Structure 1
Amino acid sequence: MITERSSRRSQENSSGYGTDTRGHALRLDDVTKVYGKNGRGVRALDGVSVTIERGSYTAVMGPSGSGKSTFLHCAAGLDKPTTGTSYIGDTKLNDLSETKLTKLRRQRVGFVFQAFNLIPSLSVLQNVELPVRLSGESVDKAWLEEILTRVGLGGRAKHRPAELSGGQQQRVAIARALITRPDVIFGDEPTGALDTVTAKEILSLLRACVNETGQTVVMVTHDPIAAAYADTVLFLADGKLAGRMDSPTADRVAERMTHLGAWA
């Protein structure tokens, strides 16, 4: 069971943004996203370019309305940019049909949301293996057992979500995100519904996924303490990339947040 926080990756393996795409898990090239038409559109993202390397842990932060959720949606193939290009690995997402995007998300992207999004009628094991089943593929039983053990649910495989604590349900969600060995796991406020002790356990688990299995994690959060578990923090303000911080601490992140957008 992984509960202790692992040491942060070396600076050489931390994520970055720019034009270097060697070994990248995802990339946005000059991405703009506008909602609405007829001159009344809201520019949620405004020319964002970012490259996130494989095997890195990146937190995305910014004030309310800064574009964090839109960033995640465009990066994960949940939404298409108005202009610019988004990639998962070397796959260009812009030109994929909805059917192909759905297949890509099932096979190459993992999601961990604040609300867990588990199916109440399914067991832990069935929830975890669901993305593989939906893809029409056979489940690697050895990998499934390893994941359940890694997230501390080896003895809970037959339980249903209602029989688990909030922290255990989020562990199920993380295991489900890992089952397809995705290019990247996206977390959208994954600890927002948890108490501080449980949140620390979940953040440590995500950190261990990076350190021990080489997973790539991109997490949207409002919490400087959560962001401090990452290798790098990307800051957004008014839809623009407003900076980055390597080897973040909670205090440094909190101080930087007071100088973003309208808060500056």
Structure 2
Amino acid sequence: MTTTTPRAVVRDDGQPAGAAVEAVRLVNVRKVYGTTANPVAALDGVTLGLPSGSFTAVMGPSGSGKSTFLQCAAGLDLPTTGRVYIQGEELAGNSEAVLTKFRRQRVGFVFQQFNLLPTLTVMQNVTLPLRLAGRKIDRRRCREILGRVGLGDRLDHRPAELSGGQQQRVAIARALVTDPRVVFADEPTGALDSRSAREVLELLRESVQVYDQTVVMVTHDPVAASYADSVVFLVDGRLAGGLDNPTADAVAERMAHLGETHDVQAGA
């Protein structure tokens, strides 16, 4: 009697049926810039899944594809080939209007430059994403979030009246107010002094540990990366390994030797 092994059922995103849906998943993602005659692959076959409720730092040398990774993973830019999923929902095939609505509902952003509107108060800056999305503004919850980031007594202040660290905390509150499942942070501490940077990183880690959100942070700073659960390294647009439970020293050591070994791979 001949027996056959049943095939495993696989979802569209490449994961086995029944597996927990990841917060972010990239499948063989390539992003090519330039002309047909002179293409430049900013991302070259990246496959990676990030679980819900995790804090991941993305690192690599200049030109490694970190910013392109964030833009494609967040739906700010579409890959040339490959697939990107947020909470199991593929981003491709949608109009820009649909993508914009999706980002407003599911994704938060924190950038190095705080991108606050100078004429608006702290409260008005924080509620702006809700207004743009046409959602009802729950001022009690907004005050609660601003209290969480240490700005409960600054609701009526304008950005010019705040320090750099306080402005970045406003930006974090603005990113959290829509209750996004994933927060993408691009060099969020790059313009801050060490004390303010530490406070911002602790807030990001708290949003993961206490509120079960997912944070994906691009950084060049090993100290910042040490606040994450894990670090993913990129070299020349390709994955170059990772590091769990990172320390600043371990990250710095790995960064110093990136590209010297043969662990650069097309996927993970």
Partner in structure 2 of residue 10 of structure 1: none
TM-score, length-scaled by structure 2: 0.89
Partners in 1 of 2:261 and 2:197 — Cα distance?
Answer: 27
Partner in structure 1 of residue 24 of structure 2: 26
Question: Which of 108, 126, 129 is the equivalent residue of 2:127?
Answer: 129
Distance apart, 1:262 and its partner CA: 6.6
Partners in 2 of 1:151 and 1:60 — Cα distance?
Answer: 24
- Matched letter for residue 175 of structure 1: A
Greater relative contact order (Cα 8 A, min sep 6): structure 1 or 2? 1
- After superposition, the CA RMSD in angstroms is 1.4
Q: Would the aligned equivalents of 2:31 and 2:44 in 1 still touch at CA under 8 Å?
A: yes
TM-score, length-scaled by structure 1: 0.91
Give 3-state SS (helix, strand or coil) of 1:95's partner.
Answer: coil
Give 3-state SS (helix, strand or coil) of 1:218's partner.
Answer: strand
Give 3-state SS (helix, strand or coil) of 1:24's partner.
Answer: coil
Partner in structure 2 of residue 192 of structure 1: 190
Question: Which of 163, 168, 171 is the equivalent residue of 1:170?
Answer: 168
Partners in 2 of 1:172 and 1:152 — Cα distance?
Answer: 9
Distance apart, 1:181 and its partner CA: 0.5
Give 3-state SS (helix, strand or coil) of 1:79's partner.
Answer: coil
- Matched letter for residue 245 of structure 2: S
1:206 and 2:204 correspond: yes
In the TM superposition, 1:1-264 aligns within 5 A as 19=15, 22-261=20-259
Distance apart, 1:79 and its partner CA: 0.4
Q: Would the aligned equivalents of 2:21 and 2:88 in 1 still touch at CA under 8 Å?
A: no
Flag structure 1 segments of 5+ consecutive residues without an equivalent.
1-17
Task: Report runs of 4+ in structure 1 exceeding 2 Å deviation.
Answer: 18-21, 261-264
Partners in 1 of 2:258 and 2:78 — Cα distance?
Answer: 26
Partners in 2 of 1:126 and 1:60 — Cα distance?
Answer: 31
| Percent of matched pairs sharing the same residue | 64
Partners in 2 of 1:157 and 1:247 — Cα distance?
Answer: 36
Partners in 2 of 1:133 and 1:149 — Cα distance?
Answer: 21
Give 3-state SS (helix, strand or coil) of 1:213's partner.
Answer: coil
Distance apart, 1:210 and its partner CA: 0.9
Distance apart, 1:26 and its partner CA: 1.0
Partners in 2 of 1:183 and 1:35 — Cα distance?
Answer: 29
Distance apart, 1:38 and its partner CA: 1.8
- Matched letter for residue 72 of structure 1: L
- Matched letter for residue 46 of structure 1: D
Give 3-state SS (helix, strand or coil) of 2:99's partner.
Answer: helix
Distance apart, 1:48 and its partner CA: 0.3
